[in-house]
Amino acid sequence: MGFKDLHLFNHALLASQAWRLLTVPNSLCARVMKAKYFPVGNLIDAFTRDASPCWRGIEHGLELLKKGTIWRIGNGQSVNIWRDNWIPTGNLKLSVSLSRSRLRGVSDLIARDIHAWNEECIRSICIPPDAEEILKIPLPQSDIPDQIAWHFETSGRFSVRSAYRLALQNHCNELSKGQISNSPDGGRPPLGTNLEFQSSVKGARFCLKLATDSLAVQQNRARRLPNQLPTCQICGSEPEDGYHAVMNCTRARALRTAMKDHWEVRAKLLLLWCRAWHHRNNIIFNHGNCPVSASITVLTGAISAPTPALEPDRLLKGKESADIPKPPSDCARSAPRPCWSRPKPGWLKLNVDASFISSSGQGAWGAIIRNHEGQPVGSAWAGGIKAPNAETMESIAVREGIRSMRQLLCRPVIIECDCQHLIKELTCTSPSRAAIFPLLADIAELLKGLPDYELLKIPRLANMAAHDLAAFARIGVSSGLRTGSVPESLRLDPVEPCNEFCCN
């Protein structure tokens, strides 16, 4: 099944029972438990000394559940600024306070008149990294209650798989010693922070195994195989764990000493450890004919080799870099754009797209309305919007696209977007717990005012006109609204030939 620690797996299963009590409070079991163990307050704050074995098991699962739950902000009245999990980074809480403050609820940080964050107030009490993350959290334009969700799933719904991974990560953190973090949010940078090391998938996997003490060193082999000794087979001086294999063993020391004449060793430890592990395996399992001098050549060559730059034409949609091979530029320019499919007669079609740059956290959106003949009815765009990710920016694009051109949507409309998760959440009948839940509530409210509508997910290449308009808003003019036309520099997708269905 893929589970290596049944104790942690049982912990995750108990957390699932606590999640059900938390999200289905009207069930018979939840009402009985609440009446007996936490008649005042909620499950998260429940604490009982003398309880049944059943409730003690739920409390054990609740410990894990508290580390992974997060509040999705609606009106902010149910969330405590300093105690609850509501920041979607790091340990999910605010790090520290810059000054003493009497503010308690997240609702105190929201400007009610404009339905936006009070930036001045937030920056006065929060450190800059936390303030930036708070300002990226989307807020609804209506008064809706806060929603609790599971942080480690995109859908916001609890899963035993992600809970097990969280329990395993916590277990590994408890076993690690002497590790600190300089990050304000308590997080740690990824293992492959060296530019030379990021392209090596094999090296990244090695460092992950080294950090989690899951390398096939003699100490780990001795736990599983009865005939194995934990002593190092190369030097025989002490039991071989991960630290000994890459730092204390004689061959690892020789490599580290030899490399001191060529670079600053402390700055390139990841590469050095990976090569030391290669030497260890070569001696034990091969002929051991790999000299230290050969490793010096390999390591110095890896550092001096230029890092492949990302070509501009490989940036897809202005959101993330794509690893899909692209055809030559002359072929790409000559490839025709897909035809725009006509809606039914009497219907309109609204194409919406977003442009997002993850490095800066800035995005833009564009929306175009066309009738069944392909003629533009209106267009709107805006830029300079902060968002945590591309999915949130896509949700903002749909909301603002409908809102800005609501006066033009006097007929049934087909709304097309290329974000599959957004369309799935909008068409789902159960309440959403995703990070875009406030935006989904606003979109659902706007859709109620339309005569009729359909939501469709289309391929990215079939939505290029809206994408070009979003890029226009991000690079050029920040915002605009036109009736009956689009910007002159925008090239609309060709309209598919008229058939018998659309003409009659």
Same domain (yes/no): 23, 148: yes
Query: Would you say residue 150 lies in a domain?
Result: yes
Same domain, 228 and 137: no
Domain membership of residue 172 (yes or no) is no
For residue 459, which of 488, 495, 416 has the smallest C-alpha distance?
416
Is residue 355 within 8 A of residue 363, CB to CB? The reply is yes
Residue in this structure with the two tokens 């096939």, named with its chain if needed? 216
Residue 464 within any structural domain of the chain: yes
225 inside domain: yes
CA distance 86 to 93: 6
Strand partners, 320: 316
Same domain as 426, residue 356:
yes
Q: Which domain range does residue 268 map to?
A: 195-304
Domain final position from 145, 160, 175: 160
What pLDDT is recorded for position 194? 44
Q: Look at the chain and report how many structural domains it folds into.
A: 3
H or E element: which one contains 352?
A: strand 348-357
Which CATH number do you get for residue 457?
A: 3.30.420.10
Assess contact for 57 and 14: CB atoms under 8 A: yes
Q: In this structure, how many other beta carbons lie within 10 angstroms of the beta carbon of residue 46?
A: 20
Q: What pLDDT, on the 0 to 100 scale, is given for residue 2?
A: 56
In this structure, are strands 348-357 and 413-417 parallel, antiparallel, or unpaired?
A: parallel
**Rounded distance, CA 137 to CA 385, Å?**
12
Q: Do residues 232 and 285 both lie within one domain?
A: yes
Indicate the residue among 282, 304, 326 that finishes a domain. 304
How distant, in Å, are the alpha carbons of 318, 380, 461, 485 from that of 488?
Answer: 21, 13, 21, 9
In a domain, 91, yes or no: yes
Is residue 155 domain-shared with residue 21, that is, in the same domain?
Answer: yes
Using an 8 Å Cβ cutoff, are 321 and 314 in contact?
Answer: yes
Interacting residues of 210 by C-beta distance below 8 A, sequence separation 6+ = 242, 246, 273, 277
> Does 380 lie in the same domain as 497?
yes
Task: Report d(CA 447, CA 406) in Å as an integer.
Answer: 10
Alpha helices in 286-408 (DSSP H): 292-304, 329-334, 390-404
230 and 282 share a domain?
Answer: yes
Are 203 and 47 in contact by the 8 Å Cβ rule? The answer is no
Residues 282 and 349 in one domain: no
pLDDT at res. 213: 83
List the pLDDT tens digit at each of the 504 positions of the chain.
Answer: 555 788 999 999 999 999 999 999 999 999 999 898 888 878 887 777 778 889 899 999 999 999 999 999 999 999 999 999 999 988 899 887 777 888 899 999 999 888 899 999 999 999 999 999 999 999 999 899 999 999 999 999 999 999 999 998 888 877 765 444 544 444 544 444 443 444 456 777 788 788 888 888 988 888 888 788 888 888 888 889 989 988 889 888 888 888 887 776 565 777 888 888 888 888 888 777 778 888 878 777 765 554 444 333 333 444 544 443 444 444 444 456 678 888 999 999 999 999 999 888 889 999 999 998 989 999 999 998 989 999 999 999 999 999 998 888 889 999 999 999 999 999 988 889 999 999 999 999 999 999 999 999 999 888 989 999 999 898 876 788 999 999 888 888 778 776 654 555
Helices vs. strands in the chain: H and E counts, helices first: 19, 12
Question: Residues 237, 357: one domain?
Answer: no
Residue 165 placed within a domain: no
Contact 143, 112 (CB under 8 A): no
**Amino acid letter, residue 278:** H
**Exposure pattern of 443-478 as b/e (b: 16+ CB <10 Å)?**
bebbbeebeebebebbeeebbbbbbbbbbbbbeeee
Same-domain pairing of 491 and 351:
yes
Please indicate, yes or no, if residue 312 is contained in any of the structural domains: no
Same-domain pairing of 300 and 341: no
Residues 286, 360: one domain?
Answer: no
**What is the pLDDT, as a whole number, of residue 332?**
41
Which of 108, 142, 160 is the C-terminal boundary of a domain? 160
Residue 110 lies in a domain: yes
DSSP of 43-92: GGG---SS--HHHHHHHHHHHHHHHHEEEEPSSSTT-BTTTS---SSTTS
